Structure 1
């Protein structure tokens, strides 16, 4: 009588079983088959092959280049990577009234790369300790690029904004949607002063990109 391993319930023969190696190997292979990382061209190929998936199954799809697991709610769910984060403590300044990605006195740029999940949406969180040399405003936003192409430009409507000479910690969080799943994008902090006559200062800058399922 074939016995089962205590953890994975994989079959193995007993001394009294018939010495039929092909049958025993087939039984073991079939038991292991659904427990490995399965590989498919896309979701349609997966669903055609796995007509009755079991919760806990894991599958890789070449398109969009992601791992999925079959959850207890009977749905294939993406194994989404964790947030990408970068932090720079060095303070830098700008007098530019238009958004710039580099600051005087602070290198390198505040930049993070992240791959779009199947939802095509990534959540941006960008912030810093911000001040201005006058009562005017200072803005911190982020640009999104795929290679050299700007997908989402820095904008005041998507910016952490501080006014006055006192340093104030400020951040903003917003989603960027419509991205191509599986494609890597670059997110870069962008800064400006409300007027070129004023100096905007940014310290303790951070940028976090979180995939949205």
Structure 2
């Protein structure tokens, strides 16, 4: 009488007393295939072959040269890959005491898919200064928004700051609570307490997103 494997994977395992059955043999092969690392020429070829993927399936894509795992309804790159963006130009500093997004042209957004862990480290690096007065401040920070409703914004927790002088610094924060497979956009921001582009400056800005594998 047929049974299943010894590792709780529900793979059909015929016994010696079973009559020969090619369909049962094929069912065993199929069960083994979907639990191994499948190989496809491309993501399009995979989509054509796997019309109803199940949680935990793993596939190597030859054209894209990457491994992906099916999690929470999405194929996610494994291990998760970091994303980096660099500041291109400075902000206009045309408003005060308001946190403003950099334009995508001045400092590109970092866009990534939330990993299975739902967590990612975000690091911001920059050289900031505001010499308008001895107490004038400037911030370089970021906020996050997601296609499925996730949003996060906290100037104090994510930002670098200088007061009346230049500061070169780096700040790393853990972004949590994301839905695996959700598209997350990390948007760089600026804020000054007073002054203008003649007194405030941000140089060498960098955003680095490191999705957590676990």
TM-score range, shorter chain: 0.5 to 0.7
1:141 aligns with 2:150: no
Q: Using the TM superposition, name which of 170-179 and 145-154 deviates more.
A: 145-154
SS at match of 1:92: coil
Which segment drifts farther, 123-132 or 87-96? Answer: 87-96
Once the two structures are superposed, residues 133-175 of structure 1 have per-residue CA deviations (whole angstroms, 9 ceiling, x without a partner) of: 2322211111101149561014223211122233x32221101
Larger Rg: 1
- TM-score computed with the length of structure 1 as normaliser: 0.62
CA distance in 1, matches of 2:86, 2:69: 32
What is aligned with 2:38? 37
What secondary structure sits across from 2:101 in the alignment?
Answer: coil
Contact 1:121-1:178 at 8 Å conserved across structures: yes
Question: How far apart are the structure 2 equivalents of 1:64 and 1:85?
Answer: 26
Mapped to 1, the partners of 2:126 and 2:83 lie a distance apart of: 17
Rounded Cα–Cα distance in structure 2 between residues aligned with 1:79 and 1:111? 22
CA 164–110 in structure 1, closer or farther in 2 if over 3 Å, else same: farther
**Alpha carbons of 1:84 and 1:59: their partners in 2 closer, same or farther (altered >3 Å)?**
closer
Alignment of 1:64-143 (within 5 A): 64-66=73-75, 79-94=78-93, 95-102=95-102, 107-134=105-132, 135=134, 136-143=136-143
Aligned with 1:82: secondary structure? coil
- Equivalent-residue separation in structure 2 for 1:148 and 1:119 (angstroms): 16
Q: Aligned in 2, Cα 1:183/1:200: closer, same or farther, shift over 3 Å?
A: same
| Contact kept in structure 1, 2:85 and 2:107, CA below 8 Å | no
Equivalent-residue separation in structure 1 for 2:187 and 2:181 (angstroms): 19
Aligned to 1:190: 189
Aligned equivalents of 2:37 and 2:175: distance in 1? 34
Between the aligned partners of 1:139 and 1:88, the Cα distance in structure 2 is 14
TM-score calculated relative to the size of structure 2: 0.62
Instruction: Give 1:125 shift.
Output: 0.6
Count the aligned residue pairs: 161
* 1:92–1:203 CA contact under 8 A, matched in 2: no
CA RMSD of aligned residues (A): 3.4
Give the distance between the partners of 1:59 and 1:210, measured in 2 at CA. 17
Question: CA separation of 1:197/1:87 partners in 2, compared to 1, >3 Å: closer, same or farther?
Answer: closer
Hey, what's the Cα distance between the residues in 1 that align with 2:193 and 2:184?
28
